[in-house]
Amino acid sequence: MSLAGAGSAASLQDVRLVIDVPDGRLLFGCGDLDLWAEHLVWCYELLGVKRGATIAVQDFGTSPLAFLGSALLMPHLNQGVAERLGGKFICLDATADRVALTPFVLTQLEIDLFVVRAEVVGLLGDACRKAAFEFAEARTRTVVAMDVFEPVPAAMASWRRLLLSESAMLIAPECEWCGCFHLRAGLYRLEDGAIRNLRLKSAQNRPLNDHYVIVREPCAKGPEDLRIRRAGEPCRKWSR
Amino acid sequence: MRSLGDDQAAEADAERWPVERLAAWQLDRLCEVIDFARKETPFYRRLWSEHDLTARKLERLEDLKHFPITTKEDLLRGGSADPTPGEGPVGFSTRGTSGKPLVVWLSAEEEEVYVRPTMRGFRWAGLKKGMTALLTSPVWHRLAACEAHAVARIGGRCAFFWGSILNPRHVESFLRTLDEVRPEFVTTTAPFLFWLVRHLESAGNSHAGALRNVAAIVVVGLPLTPRLREHLCQRLEVGDIFERGGTQEGAALDECAVHSAPHVHEDVCYLEVVDPQGRPVPAGRRGNLVVTKLASAGSIFVRYNTGDIAAFVPGRCPCGSSFRRLKIYGRPESSVEVAGKTIAAYDVRLCLEEDQTLVGRNLLLVREGVQSPQRLLVAVEGAGLNTEELERLLCDRLGLPGAKIMWLGDIRVRWGFREVLDRRELRSMGLNDSRENRR
């Protein structure tokens, strides 16, 4: 097993978790995960999530959105998202069979935030239509988790967005305040046109294609953060 | 709730306790769970009040039979969404294969209770400190969440492949992780393992010996016949395959190296097998599996009928464990009613595998669309052979008036949790009566 760039782990013996993701592999030592759970909570807060929230994620179990959900899901994670927010978490698998069940699950729960992997948004839309389930009626804040390269699913134009690139361990929220994506200071840096993860050695750089432009004016929610927005699209400000 | 941590030293050898001590332990836990449910769970408070059980105490384990058996429909109707103190922060959805899915909650206290039997089961299967375990995603199932923690506590390293065990397309991703991480221990579902076998067969030598480093695979999801286990071990070149069982509602079982049937972790769950009237049946007889979780944490389940068809195995296992053994044969979606009998796909497989050439071929039971048909209809992959002889064998072994085998030729049936299809669905597989006859 290649150990090149294993989290904070210095040797093979220190790697406790090997998590394969599309086009990459993330290696974590003891204590590495908590930084990322804290970051994910920060992302959710920028998306408007409050303490005590119930969060549902429709994604594969090895997505950071899933495995950072709670300390009950992952060893070597002291506090996941649920524990940090004092809330609840449920992950619904992103395979077609499970997506079909989602409307029935959501009717049993009061979900504050529902994060959906972009590639299953269409499937979910079909399932919701079949079950006559309306997110607006459920008062659930919906977010589509999409990679830098992915187009915004047309049907979900009104949904909020979260940039997610697993192999870069890149998680960047669309800020409710300024409408741009925040690349959090101290975690990411832009180098030679690519986003570089500063805290996880096993993470790969993520080229930032020309679909995004850098926004120079600072945002009060993260003055030090690098902010980007999709080219040709105004920042979508959700609240002031 | 009294934490099992209070008795950690004693509990370490709970599987060796004398029967009386285990029964006393279970009775204490059941009393706690019932008290807790009565005080804190609106659903059970209402239900037991309707049955005049508001003040009923348990004096003996047998007294539990006075409490009504509940079903998923009861819980969905009766407000399973009502929050219960201590139900926990993490939800899991059941598969919904027999109707709507149910959401169950896991708490830290409950996980603490369930991690230890998971460690016990993994040790039975040979997991040791320093090994790397390739695991199913922890968000998939309540028991899977305990698995990663169990591996970490034993001192192993956890690895996860990208994707889902519910999607055959992710076998390639599983193989990639397997090739590069070289785990000694693997957990997965039986259907996923069969998809893997088929993938390896179609891929030729490109992944030859991919699992040679694997000492043990622990599988859930389908009951394995002895020959199917041997078949998998040979095809995959792995040391051994162990069955693990369990339900989101609290049943937890693991197989020891004797492989006679999974042992119930009786220090964390109290399982019953009951007849259609709800009466416990003796060991060796099949009935419905009813689960009571012995922890007043997470979602509470008292006498919950899981819908599984199961039977306790009579006698004691040669391994020396005092925990009873239970074989789960299937669910409504893997069984049919014929001549008033419930026939599981497992039963049919067990018969047909007497012909060695049929081991590893998938089959489906066909629901004929009439009330209690007198004939068992089975669709089996591959070319036909010894048809009349096999049909006679099915009738003799299963005590049926009639049986018919349809040979599917080159049509491949996807291994899955569902092992029954309606007759009209045969058409979507390109089969009709005339084709059936031709084969």
Q: How big is the A-B interface in CB pairs under 8 Å?
A: 131
Q: Which of B149, B152, B166 sits opposite A95 (nearest CB)?
A: B166
Kindly state whether A214 is in contact with chain B, defined as any CB-CB distance less than 8 angstroms.
no
SS3 content of chain A, % helix, strand, coil (to 5): 25, 25, 50
Q: Distance from B91 to chain A by nearest Cα, in Å?
A: 5
- 8 Å CB contact of A93 and B91: no
Q: Which of B132, B137, B180 sits opposite A62 (nearest CB)?
A: B137
Q: Distance from B356 to chain A by nearest Cα, in Å?
A: 34
Q: Which of A82, A92, A101 sits opposite B90 (nearest CB)?
A: A82
pLDDT in tens, chain B (439 residues): 444 444 444 446 899 999 999 999 999 999 999 999 999 999 999 999 999 998 888 999 999 999 999 999 999 887 665 667 778 999 999 877 656 889 999 999 999 999 999 999 999 999 999 999 999 999 989 999 999 999 999 999 999 999 988 888 899 999 999 999 999 999 999 999 999 999 998 887 677 778 989 999 999 999 999 999 999 999 999 999 999 999 999 999 999 999 999 999 999 999 999 999 999 999 999 999 999 999 999 999 999 999 999 999 999 999 999 999 999 999 888 899 999 999 999 999 999 999 999 999 999 999 987 777 999 999 999 998 899 999 999 999 999 999 999 999 988 888 887 899 888 887 776 665 444 434 3
Q: How many domains does chain A have?
A: 1
> Which token pair is B419?
């092992």
Contact criterion met (CB below 8 Å) for A182 and A46: yes
Chain B environment of A66 (Cβ under 8 Å): 137, 139
- Residue B372 pLDDT: 77
Kindly state whether A78 is in contact with chain B, defined as any CB-CB distance less than 8 angstroms.
no
> Which token pair is B10?
């004693």
Contact criterion met (CB below 8 Å) for B169 and A29: no
As a whole number of angstroms, the distance between CA A111 and CA A102 comes to 12
Kindly state whether B132 is in contact with chain A, defined as any CB-CB distance less than 8 angstroms.
yes
Q: Which of B107, B148, B182 sits opposite A1 (nearest CB)?
A: B182
Kindly state whether B126 is in contact with chain A, defined as any CB-CB distance less than 8 angstroms.
no
Kindly state whether B380 is in contact with chain A, defined as any CB-CB distance less than 8 angstroms.
no
State the DSSP string of B35-66.
Answer: HHHHHH-HHHHHHHHHTT-TT---SSGGGGGG
Q: Distance from B166 to chain A by nearest Cα, in Å?
A: 7
State the span(s) of chain B assigned CATH 3.40.50.980.
Answer: 125-246
- 8 Å CB contact of B157 and A71: no
CA angle B11, B249, B300 (to 5 degrees): 80
Candidates A3, A20, A63, A110: best to mutate against B (most CBs of B within 10 A) is A20
* Residue A4 belongs to a domain: no
Contact criterion met (CB below 8 Å) for A79 and A37: yes
Domain of residue A199, CATH code: 3.40.50.12780
Kindly state whether B414 is in contact with chain A, defined as any CB-CB distance less than 8 angstroms.
no
Q: Which of A16, A71, A73 sits opposite B139 (nearest CB)?
A: A73
Contact criterion met (CB below 8 Å) for A199 and A180: no
- Determine the residue of chain A that is closest to B102 in CA distance: A105
* Residue A238 belongs to a domain: no
Mark which residues 83-102 of A lie under 8 Å from B by CB. Answer: 83, 87-98, 101
Q: Distance from A184 to chain B by nearest Cα, in Å?
A: 26
Q: Distance from B51 to chain A by nearest Cα, in Å?
A: 26
Kindly state whether B89 is in contact with chain A, defined as any CB-CB distance less than 8 angstroms.
yes
Chain A environment of B137 (Cβ under 8 Å): 60-62, 66-67, 93
Q: CA torsion sign, B45 to B47 to B53 to B58?
A: negative
Strand ranges (DSSP E) for B322-381? 325-330, 335-338, 341-344, 363-367, 375-380
- Residue B86 pLDDT: 79
As a whole number of angstroms, the distance between CA B313 and CA A31 comes to 44
CATH code, residues B4-110+249-256+260-330 = 3.40.50.12780
As a whole number of angstroms, the distance between CA B29 and CA B22 comes to 11
- Residue B168 pLDDT: 86
- 8 Å CB contact of A90 and B93: yes
* Residue A5 belongs to a domain: no
Contact criterion met (CB below 8 Å) for A101 and A90: no
Domain holding A191, by residue range, is 12-230
Strand ranges (DSSP E) for B204-261? 216-220, 240-246, 252-254
Q: CA torsion sign, B351 to B353 to B354 to B357?
A: positive
- 8 Å CB contact of A60 and B164: yes
What DSSP state is assigned to residue B166? T
Q: Distance from B73 to chain A by nearest Cα, in Å?
A: 13
- 8 Å CB contact of B103 and A104: no
* Residue A180 belongs to a domain: yes
Contact criterion met (CB below 8 Å) for B419 and B334: yes
ipTM of the complex: 0.93
Query: Does the domain made of B332-438 have the CATH classification 3.60.15.10?
Result: no
Chain A environment of B101 (Cβ under 8 Å): 101, 104-105
Centroid of chain to Cα A146: 8
Kindly state whether B151 is in contact with chain A, defined as any CB-CB distance less than 8 angstroms.
yes
Kindly state whether B98 is in contact with chain A, defined as any CB-CB distance less than 8 angstroms.
no
- Residue B406 pLDDT: 93
Kindly state whether A72 is in contact with chain B, defined as any CB-CB distance less than 8 angstroms.
yes
State the span(s) of chain B assigned CATH 3.30.300.30.
Answer: 332-438
Below-50 pLDDT ranges, chain A: 2-6, 10, 240
* Residue A72 belongs to a domain: yes
Kindly state whether A18 is in contact with chain B, defined as any CB-CB distance less than 8 angstroms.
yes
Kindly state whether B109 is in contact with chain A, defined as any CB-CB distance less than 8 angstroms.
no
What's the CATH architecture for B125-246? 3-Layer(aba) Sandwich (3.40)
- Determine the residue of chain B that is closest to A105 in CA distance: B101
